[in-house]
Amino acid sequence: MLSAIVIVATASRGNNKWGGTTAKNLSVAHLGQQGTPLVCVEVLGRSVIERLIDDLRRGGVEKISVYQGISEPSSCTDIHSTSPIEFCSAETAWAGATQRLASCKDTGAEAIVVTRVSGYMDLELKDALRFHREQGQVVTRAFDDKEPLDFWIVDPAGIDEGTDILSAVEPARYLVPGYVNRLQDPGDLRRLVVDGLTARCGLRPKGQETRPGVWMGEETQVHRDARIVAPAFIGRGARVAEQCLITRCSSIESNCYVDYGTVVEDSSVLSNSYVGIGLDVAHSIVDGNNLLNLERDVTLEISDPCVMRQNRVPRQGGDVQSPVPSGVGNVEWVQAE
């Protein structure tokens, strides 16, 4: 049996003898989502953390525990998975995960995957597990060509209770052969969208490719006089009004509304955002009423709700699995408080 401990923390381990990734602010706090880590932000229809959980499931991991720190400034509450996940909270996510790992010695697990979701990587879990077995060491850690990544495979038989196995043992180095994006800033998020749409990484848009390079989620409404130029992505329940132009690797995530005549070029509109009439959104990330222009590195808070605002989608019947309960026509677009 394989099990996994997934850590949602903004910072890497403080006392890390292998020199882990530097503790950077991984949140989009300045983009207004109350400090949501970038890994929890929807990218081409599904967040990086949800994609990781899917990958773990596909790799044969049966038990997944997600650790979040109570004291963490950020939160990642909306993780949608078809199979159950154990959500745990501790004083800090790392402390909880380390404690949990130490208690895994006698659980009968063949291997335990420990990962802090800090970025996106194309990792073949089965290949990593084979490498781990071949090396015969207690801990294997993933590396890219630059630095160590926060991804370990631990042999539970080698765990000594009371010791921090991740820092106590020299790990075998597993070099990730594929794409790695550390998502250290919103510019990396945008790069991930572009790389996903241009097939430079394994992250595939969640939806149907209606024509080459154009992906649409479920229940999207694109006006027949709107133009979507490939590659582009329109997420679930999103609406694109008449005379709009969506182009140059732009993504309109779920439940967004791009209003009449607006041009979205080389930009990402994050989920639940309203973009007003006749605007020109270029080289930017839009999140509700916040706009981050990546070209000029400028963040603007738009106070006029007619220009940009956060859409709040009500959830019917307490169904937290589905932010879009039914057809777009039933979704009430409410201005956030």
Partner 1 sequence: MLTSGPVVIMQMPEQLNLDGVRTFLQEVEPLLECHRPRIVLDCSQVRYIDNAGVEMMLHCLEEAMKRDGDLKLAALSPESEVILELMRVARVFEAFATSDEAVRSFNGVPAEAVPQDVPWYGGVFGEMGTLKQAS
Q: Which residues bind partner 1 (CB under 8 A)?
A: 278-282, 291, 293, 296-298, 300, 303-304, 307
- Least distance from C-beta 293 to partner 1, angstroms? 5
CA 248, chain centre distance (Å) = 22
Question: Is residue 84 helix, strand or coil?
Answer: coil
List, in order, residues 6 or more apart from 265 with CB less than 8 Å away: 245, 247, 248, 250, 280, 281, 282, 283
Q: Hey, what amino acid is at 87?
A: F
Shortest approach of partner 1 to residue 296 CB, angstroms? 4
CA–CA separation, 204 vs 119, rounded Å? Answer: 16
Nearest distance from C-beta of residue 311 to partner 1, angstroms: 19
CA distances for 236 relative to 218, 299, 322, angstroms: 5, 26, 11
- To partner 1, the closest distance from the beta carbon of 299 in angstroms equals 9
Q: Residue 298 CB, nearest distance to partner 1 (Å)?
A: 5
User: Considering the complex, what minimum distance in angstroms separates the CB of residue 186 from partner 1?
Assistant: 15
CA 275 – CA 281 distance, rounded (Å): 9
Distance in Å, CB of 243 to partner 1, minimum: 13
Q: Write a three-state SS string for 291-302.
A: EEECCCCEEEEC
Residue nearer to partner 1 on the CB measure, 101 or 291: 291
Query: By C-beta, is 278 or 327 nearer to partner 1?
Result: 278
- Report the distance separating Cα 234 and Cα 269, nearest Å: 10
Give the integer Cα–Cα distance in Å for 27 and 36.
5
Cis peptide before 212 (omega within 30 of 0): no
Minimum CB distance to partner 1 smaller for 182 or for 309 = 309
Distance CA 170, CA 173 (A): 9
Q: Are 237 and 182 in contact (CB under 8 A)?
A: no
Return the number of the residue (23 or 282) whose C-beta is nearest partner 1.
Answer: 282
